Chains A and B, each alone.
Chain A
Amino acid sequence: DVQMTQSPSNLAASPGESVSINCKASKSISKYLAWYQQKPGKANKLLIYSGSTLQSGTPSRFSGSGSGTDFTLTIRNLEPEDFGLYYCQQHNEYPPTFGSGTKLEIK
């Protein structure tokens, strides 16, 4: 199985700032990396797939980059609603596997 290592585990930032979350795969997954947002009381949301393709409805301040084993989710000009948990997931092969999550908190 492909192991996904996500960093940092916790991140604190202020509205208006930019942040980056990293995800590293234990072997090459080509471009097939997805990012999800999880917030209490709301359904999990797919933000980005195939490394950099924004899911319909994802604001343009979100961007994804990377290929092979190293990927990054960048959120520019943070909005209050962006705070929550973020997970990466490889969708190159079965079984699909997730990173351990990054908690983005308000500073």
Chain B
Amino acid sequence: EVQLVETGGGLVQPGRSLKLSCVASGFTFNNYWMSWTRQAPGKGLEWVASITNSGGSTYYPDSVKGRFTISRDNAQNTLYLQMNSLRSEDTATYYCTRGGSPFAYWGQGTLVTVSS
């Protein structure tokens, strides 16, 4: 059974940093692209970042480019999202997803709240 478990969310002040983790199980992690997608409270879904199976290439929308970094540790079956210079508009539940698009499996999400 595919499982994706996100951790690392919480309350953070604007301008500060936070790093999310996602531990994957139930599939061969290094065979798949992985992504992060987010959902602001009461809003729709927004793609945040993707990484190739080797980690050699990464992709971001303009809204987070230069502030967020996606990475992975294939030996530990773990996906990361380093978020810097956080803004109030980054407040959302962040989901770890398998695939570069479409997103075949989703975690339950971790809530990030950016507020002073």
**Number of chain A residues close to chain B: CB under 8 A:** 20
State whether A34 touches B102 (Cβ < 8 A). Answer: yes
Is there a chain A Cβ closer than 8 Å to B108's Cβ?
A: yes
State whether A43 touches B103 (Cβ < 8 A). Answer: no
State whether A46 touches B103 (Cβ < 8 A). Answer: yes
A interface residues (Cβ-Cβ under 8 A, vs B): 1, 34, 36, 43-46, 49, 55, 87, 89, 91, 94-101
Q: Is the interface of A mostly helix, strand, loop or mixed?
A: loop
Identify the closest chain A residue to B60 (Cβ): A95
Can you list the 7 inter-chain pairs with the closest CB atoms, starting with the nearest? Answer: A34-B102, A96-B101, A44-B106, A91-B101, A98-B45, A43-B106, A91-B102
State whether B101 touches A87 (Cβ < 8 A). Answer: no
Q: Residues of B contacting A96 with CB < 8 Å?
A: 47, 101-102
Q: Residues of B contacting A55 with CB < 8 Å?
A: 104
Q: Residues of A contacting B45 with CB < 8 Å?
A: 36, 44, 87, 89, 98, 101
State whether B108 touches A94 (Cβ < 8 A). Answer: no
Is there a chain A Cβ closer than 8 Å to B66's Cβ?
A: no
Of the candidates B44, B61, B104, B108, the one whose C-beta lies within 8 Å of that of A95 is B61
CB distance from A31 to the nearest CB of B (A): 12
Interface string of B25-52 (1 = CB under 8 A from A): 0000000000000000000111100100
Identify the closest chain A residue to B3 (Cβ): A43
**Complex CA distance for A72 and B108, rounded to whole angstroms:** 27
State whether B47 touches A95 (Cβ < 8 A). Answer: yes
**Complex CA distance for A89 and B104, rounded to whole angstroms:** 12
Identify the closest chain B residue to A92 (Cβ): B101
State whether A94 touches B59 (Cβ < 8 A). Answer: yes
Q: Residues of A contacting B108 with CB < 8 Å?
A: 43
Q: A44-B95, A89-B101, A91-B101 are in contact. Are A97 and B47 (CB under 8 A)?
A: yes
Q: Residues of A contacting B47 with CB < 8 Å?
A: 95-98
CB distance from A98 to the nearest CB of B (A): 4
Identify the closest chain A residue to B107 (Cβ): A43
